Amino acid sequence: MNVFVTCKFCPDLDRMKQSDFVVQEEMGVDTHFLPNILNCYDESSLELSLRFGETVKNLEKTAFTIGPKTSEQVLDSLLALGFEHAVRVATEYDVRFRPETIAATICNYLHDHPQDLLVLGREAPLGNNAATAQLVASYLNLPLISAVVDFSYRDESSISVTFQHEGSLYRQEVSLPCVFSMENATISKLRMPTLRQRMKAKNCTIEYAQLEQKDSSLFPLPIAMRIPNRRRLSSISQKKGKDAVYELFEKDLKKRLEEV
Amino acid sequence: MRLLFVLQIGKNDTVQKVRKQQRALAGLATEFSCDFDTVIVCDATCFEETSFIGDVFILGIKILNPKTIAGEIVRFLKDKPYQGILIGEDTFANDIAVLLAYEKQLQCITNVIDLQRIGNSFTFTRFAYSNNIYVDFQVRKPFVVSVRTLSSSKTKVEGIRGNYTYLESKTNTDAIRGQEIVLSNDEIVQKEVLFACGMGIRKREDIQKIRTFAQTHGFSFGVTRPVAMRGWASISEIIGVSGTIFSPKICVTIGVSGSAAFYVGIENSECIVTINTDESATIISQSDRVIIDSYENVLDHLLTQFSQTTHE
Amino acid sequence: MNISREEIVEVMKDLVGAENVVTEQEVLEDATFDRFRKFEGYHHVYTNPLPAAVVFVQSAEQVSRVLSFCNAKKINVVPRTGHSATEGGLEPIVENSIILDGSHMNKIIDIDPVNMQATAECGVVLEDLENAVRKIGLTTGHSPQSKPIAMMGGLIATRSIGQFSTMYGGMEDMLAGVETVFPDGTICDIKSVPRRSAGPDIRHIVLGNEGTTNFITKATVKLWKYYPQYQECLGYTLDKMEDGLKIMRTVMVEGYRPSVARLYDAEDGKEHFSHFAPGKCVLIFVTEGPELVSHANAEGIRSIIANYPECEMVETKLIEHWFANLNWDASRIEEERQEVLQTDVVCCTTEISAPWSAVEKIYQVCVDRVTREIPDLTIFGAHASHCYSNGINLYFVYWYKVTDCTPEQEITKYHLPIKKIICEETIAAGGSMCHHHGVGKHRVHWIDKEHGSALYMIKKLKEAFDPNGIMNIGTILPYHETK
């Protein structure tokens, strides 16, 4: 059995202050000064795949990323953790709002390396397209399970998958091959390789794949970017006690509570 | 121009919630001078025909799967002249939108938070950069979008109760061999109003008073970490990074200074009301409405007003 | 101690008010550990006995009454404020201890811009004090990573030091005056004066006592004018740690005084700089102060580095941004808790100081020995962050995956053996085994080697001020249970 996991190494936007978000002319935000982290959904996917591999004999694991050279640090770690293949698509092409290109690139690789299970994160933090897993499932005509939070081995041709829907958790038995779109899983942290594992993997090499550009006919590119105004009203009442409360309700809370 | 709304009633969704979704979308359609129909995806055996507007098509499903649902909608769409499909907020909304976009070759935007129409041109807005940036897209007809949150449309739409048609589900779900519910979210319901107590509350009995009030009125209750650490609340009642993150309609903070660790737990509130004696407290600039006064002068009146307003 | 747990609680309620005495199980469990035993704590394993109560005090007089009582009844007292200690200093290691918590004494009493000092109670969070003085263009100059959560009492008790120490010094340079309470209930107020020669400097009985001889209730610290507009950030990548150490020594010996001087090896740097310096050491200087001073220091440092062509300059914004996000707050601690629980990987530290002639050897020996002798390490690295004319510190940072052992075995399998290597090699090379975190309870094993003949003075201080041995038993000096 084999499993294919996509991952994105991306700027840690939580480290940016609101004032750092400045839209530049090229419809982007300067994030080059930020440290990079794994996309949270991908982190779950990778860790769950490793745990999956601990229960499945001879599971062949492939990690796949489209990104800059700094992504290779993650791929080196994944090789040290036991991923059999770590693949990078080296490109400077802006794929932020191009889910079709991302999906086509993945499918292009899979054409020569078919997989039983494809695990993709729900969305990546820059583009937030939330479309890649769905497009991959469509292009390859594979079943899609969405909002996945966990999965486990059932037998050679099927997997037990847990997903959430509107806050409830469901379990389904799904035939392979299949595409999973990973949600916020309880398992959210990828393990770290030990120094010994890193030494052992020193001779493992990263593989490279090609970008497959696809027109964004279905997914138009942005025409504008804006910064939301998130400042709170901070309206201080001039009144005290009972009068202040009355004013609060008349001006604001009564209307909100009607909507509740 | 005719639009199609696709709404889903999940296991623990109320019909009222989905009706509210339809009304918001209907208001939008009216602003855009569009007609509309609605497909409601649900367990057809549990559906109640109540107060939906216009023509409603009920798609009953047993197996929860976005591809299955999308397949059914593709069958439904055959020869139907919708220029836009709007998928209401749901776990599978984005999936269904993208799958429909592929099947029907429609332009697609996911997670839309705002829609504008100028003539024949539509501009859709969603977030990017982890909800830190608004991004606008111009979309041509026909299109499909998943709508994330739509604040109540300004246009009020009153329903003429329409026709209900039940669709037969035919899409093959052989790939999915079985389904069971593992955990129902009945208990995990966050309330629309949250009361948050901080160290500015001087008496343990007052914390208890607010807690009891919240519980009896169906509101959420929580405290800052120092309040729990002084033994006046349990650790499970902590709000913030080491506790629970809330996103209520209204959050009332009483005696809270507004540490970053706490604020993370309430920052998604629609409206934050603060009662505090200290005008320079951090929480003041992070709130919408502020009363600078001792909580003892305010509390009883506040609770009375909440009580009266919610019982009206 | 001939008094029951319940009796202790009742007396505490009489002394400080019932609302200030906490006996809730969860709070008591939380009080049995600090960041040293975080792995156990995150797994809800509590190795130390539960204290009888956490007692919140509101005044020096209350502290005096509580300590007098505990002194008479021989009840162990663990002083606490911010709960951010890292070396076990807050662990109650004997039955029925009291955690004496000063975090509710959180008033900033005075900010004096004429005499350039501020007075705050022991429970004031350092970041709150810093924000308050910045409103009038001043700074405390103190910025440890724990700034958002650490409080004044604990910062003084541990002789803490911050990121800007190369210019502003450590807590020992900042403390002008202090009020403290001794076990017999005596309240002592050391007045703040610029300098005096009126006997030994008794502030040093308070500074670094780690709650073993007194409970700090109030402090006056010096202030400086804050010139953020003249800060200059200099960052460089280089291949070898030893080159970085040479550069730092030259900077100090030549007389330049940056506020920040930091050197990261490639392993420790991975956590911080992989987006621009993967596999490289990173050298950082920040200068500040009045414009001419800041600029002169920056230019002087640049001229020194110009002699090292292997140093490649790093864009200022990268350093500035990294620096702005260095501090720990409650959300980072919560993130750490999640990571530890899911991955069983723990990050710990041991910080030492050494003369210039010994630091390179200490670094190499520790890296060699720890990576060879300790299993399951994922990262072992170090950075130097506090420079002096006569030496430097090293902050060893190590991560290990806890494998095949219970939470309570973690410190004996990993943490203490690592610390043993570092402490013993450092002391053998002429350095100090603790630079700024304090001895706590887990470096007591080497306190005799650390002080040598001067241990006599430490012991005498303890005998003099805490003859009944009630203050934070097992801290600084090992605890020997008397039969």
B230 to C331: CB separation less than 8 angstroms, yes or no: no
Residue B146 confidence (pLDDT): 96
**Claim to verify: residue B36 and residue B153 sit in the same structural domain:** yes
Q: Does residue B161 sit in the same domain as residue B22?
A: yes
Q: For residues A244 and A178, state if they share a domain.
A: no
Tell me the CATH number at B294. 3.40.50.1220
Residue of B nearest to C29 (CA): B229
Last residue of a domain, one of B182, B206, B228: B182
Are residue C140 and residue C82 in the same domain, yes or no? no
Element (H, E) at B178: strand B176-183
Same-domain status, C389 and C404: yes
Residue C467 in domain = no
- All residues of chain C having their beta carbon less than 8 Å from the beta carbon of residue A194 are 376-378, 400-401
Digit-coded pLDDT (tens) for C71-97: 999 999 999 999 999 999 999 999 999
Tell me how many domains chain C contains.
Answer: 4
Rounded percentage of chain C residues whose pLDDT exceeds 70: 99
Report if residue A215 sits inside a domain.
Answer: no
pLDDT band at B151 (very low <50, low <70, confident <90, very high): low
Q: Rank B17-31, B71-85, C155-169 by mean pLDDT and report only the highest.
A: C155-169
Do C43 and C137 fall within a single domain? no
Sign of the CA dihedral A41, A42, A45, A47?
negative
3-state secondary structure C69-116: HHHHHCCCEEEECCCCCCCCCCCCCCCCCEEEECCCCCCEEEEECCCC
- Are A176 and A159 contacting, i.e. CB atoms less than 8 angstroms apart? yes
CATH of the domain at B96: 3.40.50.620
* Range(s) of the domain holding residue C306: 228-322
pLDDT at C1: 67
Instruction: Please tell me the distance in Å from B114's CA to the nearest CA on chain A.
Output: 12
> Which residues of chain C does B226 touch, with a Cβ-Cβ cutoff of 8 Å?
103
Assess if residue A216 is contained within a domain.
no
**Is residue A78 domain-shared with residue A139, that is, in the same domain?**
yes
Q: Which residue in B13, B20, B42, B65 has the most chain A C-beta atoms within 10 A of its own C-beta, making it the best mutation to test that interface? A: B65
**Residue A14 and residue A140 in one domain:** yes
Q: What is the C-alpha separation between C379 and C336, in angstroms, rounded?
A: 16
* Token representation of residue B241: 């990074």
- Return d(Cα C18, Cα B203) in angstroms, integer: 11
User: Does B234 touch chain C if contact means CB atoms closer than 8 Å?
Assistant: yes
Question: In this predicted model, which residue has the larger pLDDT, B165 or C49?
Answer: C49
CA distances to B90, C261, C304, C372, C387 from C307, in Å = 62, 18, 6, 35, 20
In the block, tokens 């005090």 appear at: C57
Clarify whether residues A259 and A145 are in a common domain. no
B246 & B106 share domain: no
Q: What are phi and psi of A95, to 5 degrees?
A: -100, 10
Residues 1-20 (A) with a CB less than 8 A from some CB of C:
11, 15
C292 and C337: one domain? Answer: no
Domain count, chain B: 2
Residue at C139 is within a domain: yes
Q: Does C404 lie at the interface with B, CB-CB under 8 angstroms? A: no
Largest CA-CA distance found in chain C, in angstroms, rounded: 70
The last residue of a domain, from among C53, C76, C103: C103
Instruction: Check: CB of residue B289 under 8 Å from CB of residue B251.
Output: no
A15 — contact with chain B (CB < 8 Å)?
A: no
Strand runs labelled E in chain A? 2-6, 9-11, 36-38, 60-66, 85-89, 117-121, 144-155, 158-165, 168-175, 178-182, 207-209, 224-226, 235-236
Q: Which of C72, C103, C134 is the last residue of a domain?
A: C103
> Residue C14 is encoded by which pair of tokens?
């009489």
Give A128→chain B minimum CA distance, Å: 5
Which of A95, A145, A168, A180 to mutate to test binding with chain B, by most B CBs within 10 Å of its CB?
A168
Whether residue A141 has pLDDT greater than 70: yes
- Between B171-185, C347-361, C442-456, the lowest mean confidence (pLDDT) is in B171-185
- Is A191 part of a structural domain of the chain? yes
C-alpha–C-alpha distance, residues B170 and A255, integer Å:
45
Cα of A203 to nearest chain B Cα, Å:
36
Query: Could you tell me the two tokens for C416?
Result: 């203490």
Domain boundary among B139, B157, B182: B182
CATH number, domain containing residue C24: 3.30.43.10
pLDDT band at C481 (very low <50, low <70, confident <90, very high): low
Mean pLDDT of C320-339: 85
Q: Measuring CA to CA, which residue among C205, C91, C105 is closest to residue C152?
A: C105
Helix (H, G, I), strand (E, B), or coil: what is residue C256? coil
**pLDDT tens-digit profile of C405-441?**
999 999 999 999 999 999 999 999 999 999 999 999 9
Rg (CA), chain C: 22
Q: For residue A193, what is the nearest residue in chain C, using CA coordinates?
A: C378
Helix (H, G, I), strand (E, B) or coil at B231: coil
**B-contacting residues in C 435-474 (Cβ below 8 Å):** none
* Residue B283 and residue B276 in contact, taking contact as beta carbons nearer than 8 Å: yes
Same-domain check for residues C218 and C140: yes
| Claim to verify: residue A158 and residue A242 sit in the same structural domain | no
Partners of C26 on chain B (C-beta within 8 Å) are: 228, 234-235
CATH number at residue C167: 3.30.465.10
- Residue B76's H or E segment, with its range, is helix B66-77
Q: Do A146 and B185 touch (CB under 8 A)?
A: no
Q: Higher pLDDT residue, C340 or C480?
A: C340
The CA distance from A73 to A61, in Å, is 17
CATH of the domain at C249: 3.30.70.3450
DSSP C453-480: GGHHHHHHHHHHH-TT--BSTTSSS---
Q: Are residues C362 and C402 in the same domain?
A: yes
Tokens in use for C395? 């902050």
Count of CB atoms situated within 10 Å of the CB of B311:
7
In this structure, are B195 and B222 located in the same domain? yes
Distance of CA B22 to the CA centre of its chain: 13
Average pLDDT on B105-131 reads 90
CA distance B257 to B225: 12
Query: C139 and C78 share a domain?
Result: no
Chain B residues with CB under 8 Å of A133 CB are 95
What domain range includes position B53?
A: 2-182
Contacts of B66 in chain A (CB under 8 A): 134, 144, 146
Q: Which of B160, B182, B204 is the last residue of a domain?
A: B182
- Comparing C-alpha atoms, which of B117, B181, B126 is closest to residue B150? B126
Question: In angstroms, rounded to a whole number, what is the distance separating the alpha carbons of residues A71 and A38?
Answer: 9
Cα-based angle A99, A103, A108 (whole degrees, multiple of 5)? 150
Inform me whether the C-beta atom of residue A34 falls under 8 Å from chain C C-beta atoms.
yes
Q: Pick from C225, C241, C257: which residue ends a domain? A: C225
Query: In terms of domains, do C142 and C194 share one?
Result: yes
Say if residue B20 is in the same domain as residue B148. Answer: yes
pLDDT beyond 70 at C482: no
Q: Are residues A175 and A238 in the same domain?
A: no
Residues C399, C335 share a domain: yes
Which residues sit opposite C202 in a β-bridge?
A: none
In sequence order, the 6+-apart residues with CB closer than 8 A to the CB of B205 are none
Same domain, B177 and B194: no
**Do B298 and B194 reside in the same domain of the chain?**
yes
Q: Is A126 on the interface with B (CB under 8 A)?
A: yes
Chain C CB contacts of B261 under 8 Å are 329-331, 334
Domain CATH number, residue A49 = 3.40.50.620
Considering only the beta carbons, identify the residue of A11, A32, A187 that sits closest to C342. Answer: A187
Of C23, C30, C330, the CB nearest to B261: C330
Chains that touch B (3 or more CB pairs under 8 A): A, C
For residues B81 and B46, state if they share a domain.
Answer: yes
What average pLDDT does range C211-216 have in this prediction? 98
Q: What angle do CA B124, B126, B130 make, to 5 degrees?
A: 165
- C234-243 residue pLDDT tens: 999 999 999 9
The minimal CB distance from B184 to the residues A14, A168, A227 is found for A168
The parent domain of residue A241 ranges over 232-260
Both structure tokens of C222: 């010096």
Residue B154 pLDDT > 70, yes or no? no
User: Could you tell me if A174 and A84 lie in one domain?
Assistant: yes
Residues A120 and A240 in one domain: no
- pLDDT(B48) > 80: no
CB C183 within 8 A of CB C470: yes
Q: What tokens does C392 get?
A: 């430097």
The answer to whether residue C447 sits within a structural domain is: no
Residues A260 and A188 in one domain: no
Q: pTM (2 decimals)?
A: 0.90
Chain B / chain C CB contacts < 8 angstroms = 43
Q: Which of B289, B308, B309 is the best mutation test for A, with the most CBs of A within 10 A?
A: B289
pLDDT of the residue at B187 = 47
pLDDT tens-place string over residues C284-299 = 999 999 999 999 999 9
Q: Does A91 touch chain B (CB under 8 A)?
A: no
Query: B232-288 pLDDT, tens per residue?
Result: 998 889 998 778 889 899 999 999 998 888 998 998 899 999 999 988 888 998 999
Give the integer Cα–Cα distance in Å for B278 and C93. 40
Number of other CB atoms surrounding residue C120 within 10 Å: 27
Interface check A222 vs B, CB under 8 A: yes
Q: Are residues C313 and C341 in the same domain?
A: no
**pLDDT tier at B188 (50, 70, 90 boundaries)?**
very low
Domain tally for chain A? 2
| Digit-coded pLDDT (tens) for B136-147 | 999 988 999 999
Comparing A222-231, B121-130, C285-294, C345-354, the range with the smallest average pLDDT is A222-231
Mean confidence (pLDDT) of chain C: 96
| Nearest-by-CA chain C residue for B205 | C19
